[in-house]
Amino acid sequence: MSDSSPQPQSLHQRILNDIQQLILTGAWQPGHKIPVEHELMKQYNCSRMTVSKVLTQLAHARMIERRRKSGSFVSRPHSQSAVLTIPDIKTEVAALGMPYSFEVLHKVRRRASAEERELLGFERAVSVLEIECRHLAGERPFCFEQRLINLEAVPEAAKETFEETAPGAWLLQRVPWTLAEHRIRATGAEARSAKLLGIERGAAVLTIERTTRSAQSTAITFVRLIYPGDQHELVATFSPERVGRSAQ
Amino acid sequence: MSDSSPQPQSLHQRILNDIQQLILTGAWQPGHKIPVEHELMKQYNCSRMTVSKVLTQLAHARMIERRRKSGSFVSRPHSQSAVLTIPDIKTEVAALGMPYSFEVLHKVRRRASAEERELLGFERAVSVLEIECRHLAGERPFCFEQRLINLEAVPEAAKETFEETAPGAWLLQRVPWTLAEHRIRATGAEARSAKLLGIERGAAVLTIERTTRSAQSTAITFVRLIYPGDQHELVATFSPERVGRSAQ
DNA sequence: CGATTCATTATGCCTATACATTAACGTTTA
DNA sequence: TAAACGTTAATGTATAGGCATAATGAATCG
């Protein structure tokens, strides 16, 4: 699992890895001054552009800070951060080695209520599609999904039955590049979700709420995913975001 | 709040933003072929290095894929992903505008049990420091922290009282650059945490477990943070990670 | 007719150079 | 002594070109 790339790839990568290593291992503590470009140039016997590119990348990744005339310095880590991937539910179930299925419980087209407009970040009236789904891993309820789709943004959704493809996956195909905001909470299950998930009322559930916007910041969809608490686990990895991604 | 940078900054940024926009808005769908470097060169009346740099950055951010001879293509989004920042608890409380405090409830040095060695990813016997803390926002319990520190990795921890600085912050100062793995769950509070958080047994709590490793992948610490479920909310942002960060 | 070779094309990576911008520092001047 | 000024070391941005590599298609040869 540990970086077992045989050829040390490009000069770029080598310099970048070297410096990154020094920082990650703590050999260069926060505040440490990184050799100036001309020194690195001599050290690696390369041109300035090359080292500059490397340092720029590191700066983008916020591992170093660059100050004109003074030089570059190892920056102080901002706080604990992680890259959290919330996969498609189908993928998630598949990863457990269980057969996946889902059912649409409810589907209505209507005007958004005041509260819903708030969630979607709208002032005006909008027409939305409300969908409720249940996702199953084998026979077992895996997740309860409550979704609102902004029909102004995705009018085709009105005609879709969502029998083949679940709303989430369908939307991802249709509007591939989106910005999203997530809120993750633990709550006690209220009556409806408890029943649908086959758990007791008040049992702990993990709730993930996501508002998805297109780049122009029009809200596309709002979704609330409710997972039985003790069954499900969100896994996130990494603190310092990887800069050079060599082997996938 | 929306990007109100007056001068369109560098040529770099402009090209990058242009292309990014086209992808994010969906004008260029996944699979779309991006103009070859020579075309972009002509289009922006600049040198090849400049466009190459831009495309390289986009490739790093995984928004495009580059194939020799074939050209560059808009890549398919992998799945929903987000950048989740789990801040320092002190910062978190401060953000709520509440006075922060914490207390050390328990602190023992001992050998790690088999189960704990598992958590830390150790085969051999190791000596650990076990600490339990309670974090408060005002008078209200905010978070219950259970922590193990690997004393082989951070021997100084044995002498530390953790009265000034909470263990999390203390460690971050000491071993600044780390990799971490997070697991997030919703569970019912068991007796001890319920009592300490002033909630009922079985009430929903948000549990975040984190194993922190240094770059050489030696485990530094394992921590379990338990938050009262309905009070606390984890917020995560962004799907496509931002490439160009202009205004800090 | 099929296999090999070869040129073309487009990316990947690097060098060398240039000028712009900034900020720290030292020197001069009021 | 302090403000004003110039110098210079560092980064920031860009140009122009080079060789390497991989895929594709066309030309050539057995």
pLDDT, residue B8, reads 53
Size of interface A-B (CB pairs under 8 A): 224
pLDDT in tens, B28-41: 999 999 999 999 99
Give chain A positions within 8 Å (CB) of B21. Answer: 215
Assigned CATH class of A83-236: alpha beta
With CA atoms as reference, the chain B residue closest to A234 would be B184
pLDDT, residue B231, reads 82
Given A88, A175, A184, which is nearest B233 (Cβ)? A184
User: What is the average per-residue pLDDT within A93-97?
Assistant: 93
Give chain B positions within 8 Å (CB) of A10. Answer: none
Q: Where are the domains of chain B?
A: 11-74, 83-228
pLDDT in tens, B104-141: 999 999 999 999 999 998 889 999 999 999 999 999 99
Residue B146 has pLDDT above 90, yes or no: yes
Distance CA(A18)–CA(A4), nearest Å, equals 15
Residue by residue, DSSP assigns A122-188 as -SS--EEEEEEEEEEETTEEEEEEEEEEETTT-GGGGG---SSS-HHHHHHHHS-S-EEEEEEEEEE
Cβ–Cβ below 8 Å for B186 and A234: no
φ, ψ at A158 (rounded to 5°) = -60, -35
Predicted confidence band of residue A3 (pLDDT cuts 50, 70, 90): very low
Residue A2 has pLDDT above 50, yes or no: no
Given A83, A185, A239, which is nearest B178 (Cβ)? A239
**Would you say the C-beta of B42 is within 7 Å of strand D?**
no
Given B21, B29, B236, which is nearest A84 (Cβ)? B236
Q: Which residues fall inside 7 Å of strand C, measured at CB?
A: A 9-12, 45-50, 67-70; B 34, 36-38, 48-49, 52, 55-56, 59, 66-69, 71-72
Q: Which of A79, A171, A174 to mutate to test the interface with B (most CBs of B within 10 A)?
A: A79
Distance from CA of A21 to the nearest CA of B (A): 8
Distance from CA of A109 to the nearest CA of B (A): 25
With CA atoms as reference, the chain A residue closest to B30 would be A176
Cβ within 8 Å of residue B6, ≥6 positions away: none
Q: End-to-end CA distance of chain B: give it in Å, rounded.
A: 13
Give chain A positions within 8 Å (CB) of B91. Answer: 79
Cβ–Cβ below 8 Å for A185 and B234: yes
What SS3 class is residue A158? Answer: helix
CA of B68 to C1' of D21 (A): 8
Q: Identify the residue with better confidence: B215 or A12.
A: A12
Predicted confidence band of residue B6 (pLDDT cuts 50, 70, 90): very low
Asked if B80 contacts A85 with a C-beta cutoff of 8 angstroms, the reply is yes
Superfamily of domain B83-228: Chorismate lyase-like (3.40.1410.10)
- Look up residue A152 and give its DSSP letter: T
Which nucleotide has the shortest C1'-to-CA distance from B33? C10
Distance CA(A117)–CA(A105), nearest Å, equals 23
Predicted confidence band of residue A103 (pLDDT cuts 50, 70, 90): very high
pLDDT in tens, A223-244: 999 999 988 899 887 656 555 5
Q: Tell me what the pLDDT averaged over chain A comes to.
A: 89
pLDDT, residue B76, reads 86
Residue A120 in tokens: 């979607």
Number of residues that this document lists for chain A:
248
pLDDT, residue B230, reads 80
CA atoms within 13 A on the CB side of B214: 20
Given A88, A185, A238, which is nearest B206 (Cβ)? A185
Q: Which of A78, A154, A185 to mutate to test the interface with B (most CBs of B within 10 A)?
A: A185
Distance CA(B38)–CA(B43), nearest Å, equals 9
**Would you say the C-beta of A66 is within 7 Å of strand D?**
yes
Which nucleotide has the shortest C1'-to-CA distance from A69? D10
pLDDT in tens, B187-218: 999 999 999 999 999 999 999 999 998 877 78
Predicted confidence band of residue B84 (pLDDT cuts 50, 70, 90): confident
pLDDT, residue B248, reads 32
Report the topology of domain A11-74.
Arc Repressor Mutant, subunit A (1.10.10)
Return the percentage of chain B with pLDDT > 90, whole number. 63
pLDDT, residue A83, reads 82
Distance from CA of A59 to the nearest CA of B (A): 10
